[in-house]
Amino acid sequence: MFRFLKPAALSAALLSGPAMSTIALPDAAQRSDPHSYANTQDFRTRDLALDLDVDFERRVLRGSAELTLERVNPKADTLVLDTRDLDVGAVEAGRDGKLAKTTFKLAPRDPVLGSALVIHMPKGADRVRVHYATQPQASGLQWLTPAQTAGQKHPLLFSQSQAIHARSWIPLQDTPQVRQTYSAHITTPKNLRAVMSADNDPQAPLSGEYRFKMPQRIPSYLIALAVGDLAFRATGPRTGVYADPGVVDAAAREFEDTEKMLERCEALYGPYRWGRYDLLILPPSFPYGGMENPRLTFASPTVIAGDKSLVSLVAHEMAHSWSGNLVTNATWADIWLNEGFTEHATFRIVEEVYGRDAAQQERVLSARRLQAELAEIARDDDKTLTPDLVGRDPDDGLSGVPYARGSLFLDYLEAQFSRPVLDGFLNGWFNSHAFQSVRTADFVAYLHEQLMAQKPGVLSEAELDAWLHQPAMPADTVWPKSDAFDRVDVQRQAWLAGKTPAAALDTKGWTTHQWQYFIDTLPALSAAQLDELDAAFGFSKTRNQIIASHWWKQCLANHYAKADAGVEQYLGEVGRMLLIMPLYREMAKTPDGLARAKTVYAKWKNRYHPIAQDAIEKALARAA
């Protein structure tokens, strides 16, 4: 095995080996995936083998990635991989297990796409091994000190590869068009456990060496790794929870219905094809509510509310086992095929397990977020299910539109064709396209074949075009309603009209979603009114992070000075972007608020994931 070459040795490595032919990298508009440099028309990865050492002291991963390739073009002599901020020391290429050193070049760095790694491939070579190390600022990795974890005894590392962050810790074809199996050998400090989006063994001894295998082909953004002080609790024959030892019992209680959800998913959409479904509860700095890494969903602790009111997140990430993991968007412009389908499935699962009322609350909140976002989005194509992301960071294009508009479109199809028909249609879609990456055009063709041709006149081409391509929501969109929220409306109006003091409102049994709706639908309030609400309901002291986020946003919107310290503390404790970005954007609406937002961000920056840092910095720059 090659010893890893330090950056100083790069020049020698670049100059050695066979002479490289020059390659002109096509611009984004010419590539099959505008967010990847990979020349998939010549080579496609079929397997990835990782051998990595986890160095917490230097905050780097160091080792090798070996790619087994399909030669699409037998004459191709150049392989192009995606990287971002990787120190590449040496590259070998060959076939039949016989690899030899080969020439490579790193192209200039693009701030979004990173650097193309251009590798000379000898005749017939179908395997390449890259020796490399990550850099501490890798956008797909977060390194936490012991003080930043729940137990405060051990450090923790976790990855976040979606959308194009896998290239910051693995040199590979970082496009959802390419699916590969993978294996890994991970070396860690002996008192820590490594887990991956693969076949984890909760009984594996803390030996410092872990081996993993993912036998199903997955896209690069679903490759995931975490290392830390992790305990495990089973929640069913195929389900369980990994978390910090001080958190794992509460998490297992919160998610005890996971196995039941999995059974309902299978009843609706066909067999679960991934073996186990486990959850990993990460620290509050995790930038998302959840990430659907196959076999091991990564989740934020903000979903542990104590009353199961936020477990729809588990339903959402589990549904991705069909829409996203099994059938994957081929480019990030097609992400509604992942998220819209998943959001629709989420509401169906919640309805099956917890009842229609719970699902309707979810549907209403999703629709309200969509209406608010559509009012703020500047680009018309970003309001559609077919945005143009060429030349843009795919993270910037991710809004509530592919989730909520995509879900409402499927709800519309359900209303037109009937629920049993749509359930059968989706089941057929997942099974007929299993382990494939698809485009919106593929879905349209399947829709024509399976529904529109079978039941002519139910859905017109104009109606289909309106849902997919037009910025305005279709005139016949059916916006969901909730009886539970109607009851909230009655109580809110009684208080606003001065008929009932806040402390006397009938709020017994309200869910997190009802409280969120109550806070969000309040008009402009005086400091005295905010005082009364906080005295009655203790919003500023709640440990429910969802309710807290909506309360602090209301305080900021009303310039409620008493909340300043609470807002700042909250922003230092929570890293989930859905919860903190509205607060930063609200502060940034005024010059004084923008200055304050920059000060608060500077204070807490190092507690945020790199993806969250980037999002906050862009939001504050736009507001300046």
CA distance 147 to 383: 41
DSSP 323: B
Q: What is the pLDDT of residue 66?
A: 98
Residues 493 and 469 in one domain: no
Residues 237 and 284 in one domain: yes
As a whole-number percent, the residues of the chain with pLDDT over 90 amount to 91
Q: Is the dihedral angle over the CA atoms 171, 174, 178, 183 positive or is it negative?
A: positive
CA distance 573 to 604: 9
Asked, for residue 529, whether it belongs to a domain, the answer is yes
The active-site residue out of 92, 254, 292, 317 is 317
Express each pLDDT in 260-273 by its tens digit: 999 999 999 999 99
- Look up the CATH number of the domain holding residue 171: 2.60.40.1730
Q: What is the pLDDT of residue 23?
A: 58
* Confidence tier at 9 by pLDDT (50, 70, 90): very low
Within 10 A of 288 (CB to CB), how many other CB atoms are there? 21
Q: Which of 134-138, 143-147, 180-184 has the lowest mean pLDDT?
A: 143-147
CB 147 within 8 A of CB 301: no
Q: Taking residues 468-486, report their average pLDDT.
A: 96
* E-only strand ranges, 121-255: 127-133, 141-144, 156-159, 179-187, 193-196, 209-219, 225-228, 231-234, 239-243
Q: Taking residues 491-504, report their average pLDDT.
A: 98
Q: Taking residues 166-175, report their average pLDDT.
A: 98
Annotate 531-596 with DSSP letters as a single string. HHHHHHH-GGG---HHHHHHHHHHHHHTT-GGGHHHHHHHHHH---HHHHHHHHHHHTTSHHHHHH
Asked, for residue 67, whether it belongs to a domain, the answer is yes
- Any idea how long the chain is? 624
CA distance 392 to 112: 8
Asked, for residue 317, whether it belongs to a domain, the answer is yes
In a 13 Å sphere around the CA of 506, the CA atoms on its Cβ side amount to 11
Residues 42 and 178 in one domain: yes
**Residue 38: is the preceding peptide bond cis (ω within 30°)?**
no
Show which of 481, 514, 543 is a domain's final residue.
481
Q: What is the pLDDT of residue 396?
A: 81
The tokens for 310 are 């936020």
Asked, for residue 225, whether it belongs to a domain, the answer is no
Express each pLDDT in 584-620 by its tens digit: 999 999 999 999 999 999 999 999 999 999 999 999 9
Q: Which residues contact 566 (CB under 8 A, 6 or more apart)?
A: 540, 552, 555
Residues 293 and 376 in one domain: no
User: Does the annotation mark 317 as catalytic?
Assistant: yes
Residues 207 and 247 in one domain: no
Q: What is the pLDDT of residue 22?
A: 55
Q: Which of 21-30, 149-158, 254-263, 537-546 has the lowest mean pLDDT?
A: 21-30
Residue 3: strand, helix, or coil: coil
> What are the two backbone dihedrals, phi and then psi, of residue 181, each rounded to the nearest 5 degrees?
-80, 165
Residues 491 and 476 in one domain: no
Q: Tell me whether residue 612 is exposed, middle or buried, using C-beta atoms within 10 angstroms of its C-beta: 0 to 12, 13 to 18, 19 or more.
A: buried
How many domains does the structure of the chain reveal? 4
Show which of 429, 459, 481 is a domain's final residue.
481
Q: Taking residues 369-386, report their average pLDDT.
A: 95
Residues 176 and 266 in one domain: no
Terminal-to-terminal C-alpha distance of the chain? 51
Express each pLDDT in 186-220 by its tens digit: 999 999 999 999 999 999 999 999 999 999 999 99
Asked, for residue 126, whether it belongs to a domain, the answer is yes
CA distance 269 to 264: 9
Residues 343 and 214 in one domain: no
pLDDT at 21 over 60: no
Express each pLDDT in 82-134 by its tens digit: 999 999 999 999 998 899 999 999 999 999 999 999 999 999 999 999 999 99
Asked, for residue 567, whether it belongs to a domain, the answer is yes
pLDDT at 5 over 60: no
Q: What is the pLDDT of residue 6?
A: 35
CB 533 within 8 A of CB 504: no
pLDDT at 397 over 90: no
Q: What is the pLDDT of residue 105?
A: 97
- Look up the CATH number of the domain holding residue 403: 1.10.390.10
Distances (CA, A) of 106 to 5, 49, 552: 15, 21, 46
The residue range of the domain holding 446 is 330-481
Q: What is the pLDDT of residue 14?
A: 37
Residues 215 and 248 in one domain: no
Q: Tell me whether residue 384 is exposed, middle or buried, using C-beta atoms within 10 angstroms of its C-beta: 0 to 12, 13 to 18, 19 or more.
A: buried
Residues 170 and 83 in one domain: yes
Residues forming beta bridges with residue 53, ordered by sequence position: 62, 187
Show which of 443, 458, 481 is a domain's final residue.
481
Q: What is the pLDDT of residue 153?
A: 94
CB 496 within 8 A of CB 523: yes
The tokens for 13 are 């490595």
Q: What is the pLDDT of residue 556?
A: 98
- β-pairing, 239-243 with 277-281? parallel
- Look up the CATH number of the domain holding residue 616: 1.25.40.320
Residues forming beta bridges with residue 181, ordered by sequence position: 47
CB 280 within 8 A of CB 242: yes
Task: Give pTM, 2 decimals.
Answer: 0.92
Which single residue is written with the structure tokens 């143009």?
A: 388
Output the CA angle 390-108-287, nearest 5 degrees. Answer: 55
How much is the mean pLDDT over the chain? 94
Q: Which residues contact 238 (CB under 8 A, 6 or more apart)?
A: 259, 262, 272, 275, 276, 277
Express each pLDDT in 289-338 by its tens digit: 999 999 999 999 999 988 888 888 999 999 999 999 999 999 999 999 99
The active-site residue out of 403, 560, 601, 608 is 403
pLDDT at 441 over 80: yes
User: Does the annotation mark 272 as catalytic?
Assistant: no
Residues 383 and 399 in one domain: yes
- Look up the CATH number of the domain holding residue 248: 3.30.2010.30
* Confidence tier at 392 by pLDDT (50, 70, 90): very high
pLDDT at 28 over 90: no
Asked, for residue 1, whether it belongs to a domain, the answer is no
Residues 488 and 476 in one domain: no
Q: Taking residues 484-499, report their average pLDDT.
A: 98
